[in-house]
Amino acid sequence: MIRTAIVSAAIDPAALLAEVTTDGTGATTLFLGTVRDVNEGRPVTGIEYSAYAAMASDELARIAQEAVERFDGVQLTVEHRIGTLGLQEISVAIAVAHARRNPALDASRFVIEELKRRVPIWKCEHYVDGTRQWIDPTASRDAQPAATT
Amino acid sequence: MQQLQVLLFASYADAFGSGSVTVSVPEPATVADVVGALRSLPGGAVLPESPLVAVDRRYTPGVIAVHAGQEIAVIPPVAGG
């Protein structure tokens, strides 16, 4: 099975795991991206995720399809949340299952890397001092990676 | 000339003060023509010379022609995850 979604409600990782696990899967991976408290030295109170929702849904589905073609036999569910998230909340969850561990691990890595490169989602960080800033990963290559993952 | 509507998001929407703007471009026009017209509008300085553009929800190079009725969006650097 393959399922991808852009969601606004809290992500339930256990539900994603249950979706991909079958009698034939012997390895299941779960990747979670969560909101952390500091980015590039600035204390963060939360992140507002926004998306070009229609295209983000399409692009995420295309990535999942590519993963299934590259890693034959994987079961895959991906959800990315949008809206305002607090510290430790899950922004993205990727559950992958396969008969063997390597395809599951590799497919999970493939999906998160492609998602971060291609899916039109943006995050606006809110800081302790009351200010906010859109994160531009292309402008901070020499600094810390962007805020969650 | 033709009028094309362009969708904007995140930092670009903030810079233009709107989630969509209308540009006037020659007919036929390319993606690059649309970007050029956007860059000449107030707020347009925020755009790089060749920002990511999606036409009908797919990333599309600057040389490709666009026309009314297509969904055109200029995409700021993405930051999902």
DSSP-assigned states of every residue in A85-122: EETT-EEEEEEEEESSHHHHHHHHHHHHHHHHHHS-EE
Structure ipTM over 0.85, yes or no? yes
pLDDT category of residue B68 using cuts at 50, 70 and 90: very high
Is residue A143 predicted with pLDDT exceeding 80?
no
Share of chain A above pLDDT 90, in %: 89
pLDDT category of residue A142 using cuts at 50, 70 and 90: very low
Asked if B46 and B11 touch (Cβ cutoff 8 Å), the reply is yes
In a domain, A64, yes or no: yes
Is residue A109 predicted with pLDDT exceeding 90?
yes
Q: Could you list the residue range(s) of the whole structural domain that residue A53 is in?
A: 2-139
Question: Chain B residues contacting A, CB < 8 Å?
Answer: 7, 9-11, 14, 54, 57-59, 73, 75-81
A124: which chain B residues are within 8 Å (Cβ-Cβ)?
10
pLDDT category of residue A140 using cuts at 50, 70 and 90: low
**How many angstroms away from the CA of A52 is the closest CA of chain B?**
7
CA distances from A123 to A24, A30, A40, B4, B79 (A): 38, 22, 14, 27, 6
- CB contact (8 A) between residue B9 and residue A122: yes
What average pLDDT does range B43-68 have in this prediction?
97
Asked if A111 and A94 touch (Cβ cutoff 8 Å), the reply is yes
Asked if B33 and A31 touch (Cβ cutoff 8 Å), the reply is no
> What is d(CA B74, CA B77) in angstroms, rounded to the nearest whole number?
10
Is residue A148 predicted with pLDDT exceeding 60?
no
In a domain, A149, yes or no: no
What average pLDDT does range A30-35 have in this prediction?
97
Q: What is the CATH number of the domain that holds A123?
A: 3.90.1170.40
What average pLDDT does range A83-107 have in this prediction?
98
Asked if A96 and A74 touch (Cβ cutoff 8 Å), the reply is yes
Number of domains in chain A: 1
Q: Which domains does chain B have, with CATH numbers?
A: 2-75 (3.10.20.30)
